[in-house]
A = this chain, B = another copy of it.
Amino acid sequence: MINPRMQELGSKRSVIRELFEYGKKQRALLGEEAVFDFSLGNPSVPAPADVGDELTRLLQDEDPVALHGYTSAEGDLGVRTKIAEYISGTYGVPASAEAIYMTVGAAAALTISLNAILTEGEEVIAITPYFPEYKVFVEGAGGKLVSVPARDDSFYPDTQKIRDAINERTAAVIINSPNNPTGVVYDEGAMRELSNVLREKSAELGKTIYLISDEPYRELVYGGADVPYLTKFYDNTLVCYSFSKSLSIPGERIGYIFISPAMTEFQSVREAICGAGRSLGFVCAPSMLQRLVARCLGKTADITVYDKNRKLLLSALSEWGYEVVNPDGAFYLFIKSPSGSGKEFSERAKGLNILIVPSEDFGTPGYARLSYCVKTEMIERALPHFKKLIESYKG
């Protein structure tokens, strides 16, 4: 009388959420300053002033009937034109308004893309460690998620293993760079290699294998790291973008799908995306927020704070002997567990009121994820406890 899959999804909290709730309780018990919560990937810096300014301006200047009215299902044409111009101007790739479909954030971009391209029982490859909701979204679209481990050393996609995992049921490969949970940014060489494999296997199998690029962290890169734009290398790419992290507006749910204009079946995919958005009940992305993001393209919140946090943690943790995956982007550190078990590491850290997420929940054993989108002061207070934590393994 109730859908059992949905009930399970709704009743089982993710481990990340469990940790976060535990943190809230501990803070109530021990005081705000005594708990070091690195569990959630929730932007800690405010939106740039442009967000408030432009919203206020829109409310002052625009006719409310138009501002708050329905846009077409794919989004306002003026907004989509501006985004296409921005993509084309910034990344040097062909783009047009027709290739943009506005969504209620990146999660919706993923569910709409997956529902558009998947037929019952088809497979989608994700690279472990991966954002756990990928499995929920793929299964929600009637597909099966197939995990392929990243390379041990670099956490880059292992193209040989991806090649081996592709078969006639494979519909798509999802990648995420800058990566959650590792912070790794894939370089151009790796993306060319992956594209070659997808092209070869598509030709061999006589079917299109789509590349879904989940890019909420595109702007969050440090030390001049470059995030290659994937439509340059692979025609059958769907870019799922969100303004949540770049503009620090994660609760507003605004993003888009960019359908590579060079896609083999561009029109059919575009139609299927419109159909999937309709079937899932999206109607259109929030209209005022569509107008807002079109006015804030290229703007970001003050992400120098994240870089400062990253450097502070990296230098201290490395000095004390922690092994950390090279983090060029996003706001996560992927720390190797001194015991080899991510769960044990996370539990032991919890004993010192440090909340970090065991990597097992991302499909990879032996690490923990630390989110450094937090106040720098909290990191400073936490450092002595991190020292104690690693020393406890040496005793």
Contacts and interface: CB of A to CB of B under 8 A. Distances in A.
Interface in A38-53: 42-47, 51-52
A8 interface: yes
Interface stretch (A192-200, A221-229, A264-272, A380-388): A264-272
Contact of A69 (B63, B116, B251): B251
Interface stretch (A282-290, A317-325, A344-352): A282-290
A277 B71 CA distance: 23
Interface in A112-164: 112, 115-119, 133, 136-137, 139-140
Interface residues of A, number: 81
Interface in A6-33: 6-11
Contact of A269 (B2, B9, B116, B137): B2
A283 to B, nearest CB: 5
A311 interface: no
B208 A117 contact: no
Nearest to A44: B65
B64 A47 contact: yes
Contacts of A288: 251-252
A271 B7 contact: yes
B271 A10 contact: yes
Nearest to A41: B70
Interface string A62-84: 01110111110000000000000
A55 interface: yes
Contacts of A116: 2-3, 6-7, 10
A289 B252 CA distance: 8
Interface stretch (A85-93, A101-109, A359-367): A101-109
Contacts of A136: 278-279
A4 to B, nearest CB: 8
A70 B272 contact: no
Given A59-B56, A116-B6, A68 B251 contact: yes
B6 A70 contact: no
Contacts of A7: 116, 268, 271-272, 275
B42 A64 contact: no
A110 B281 contact: yes
B104 A3 contact: no
Contacts of A4: 119
A186 B71 CA distance: 31
Contacts of A11: 271, 274-275
B6 A115 contact: yes
